[in-house]
Chain A
Amino acid sequence: MNFIMKLGAAVLGLIGLLGSKGISACFWFMYEPDLPKKESCDDQK
């Protein structure tokens, strides 16, 4: 169970990180999520 939880988190994390690399507005949508907080971006660098 613990392994499945970790695997699920890893997959979701990867999808989230890949999704965050999108260029600008990736859909027809006139919606745009709030950008990630600065700390989070800086940590990544």
Chain B
Amino acid sequence: MNISPNTISHQLANYVAKNNLKYKNEQDQIRYGLEWVISGLYQFLSVVFIGYIFNVISFAIVALFTGALLRMFSGGIHLQKYFKCYLYSTVTILLTAIISRNYGDYLFSSIIYYSLVVLTFIIFAKNAPKLYKTNELYNDQEKNRFKFLSLALLLFFFLLAEFIIHDQRYIFCIWTSIALQAFTLSKIGEKVILYLDKITK
């Protein structure tokens, strides 16, 4: 049984077009939207389930939403196949959560943290948004708006970590997630990830 988001979204879009004629002309648009929704749902459920097993559920959700919010506006590198994407992102989120919960206090260093904040702002200001399939859908003005929103979100997370969150493990979790997103926006990150994608075909 094939439960990939692509297969299921095609089947559901066919069902929609067959049973509700007003959607017939929008079948592929619906398939596209459902594919996003299903892939997001898979990721959310996997992260929550495995996070629960490892007793890091709150850290896993923080890592997931930090990365997801930023990526919504900044984009980032993509892998070719769904399963690889699913595996990479789920493992990354859970490792971030596990390390943050168990070692975040010991690993946190103010110098590294503030250096990371500065470096991340520079990478986002320079490279965001990094769009692929959707690149042609937006003009320069809209892309600049995405850049601005990415930077505003970074500032939001910085202020959150400075004034609201006092547990260093959560600050470690948030900024590790942000650093990983920044890595996918950088030129080195793009090369490394595309190379890994190529050799794991």
Contacts and interface: CB of A to CB of B under 8 A. Distances in A.
A40 B39 contact: no
A35 to B, nearest CB: 5
Interface string B13-32: 10110111011011111111
Interface in B54-95: 63-64, 67-68, 71-73, 75-79, 82, 84-86, 88-89, 92-93
A25 B78 contact: yes
Interface residues of A, number: 35
Contacts, number: 156
A9 B89 contact: no
Main secondary structure, interface of B, reads: helix
A29 B29 contact: no
List of 5 A-B pairs having minimum Cβ-Cβ separation, nearest first: A19-B33, A16-B30, A20-B33, A31-B85, A9-B19
Given A20-B29, A27-B43, 9 more contacts: A6-B20, A16-B37, A17-B29, A20-B36, A24-B72, A24-B134, A28-B68, A33-B35, A34-B133
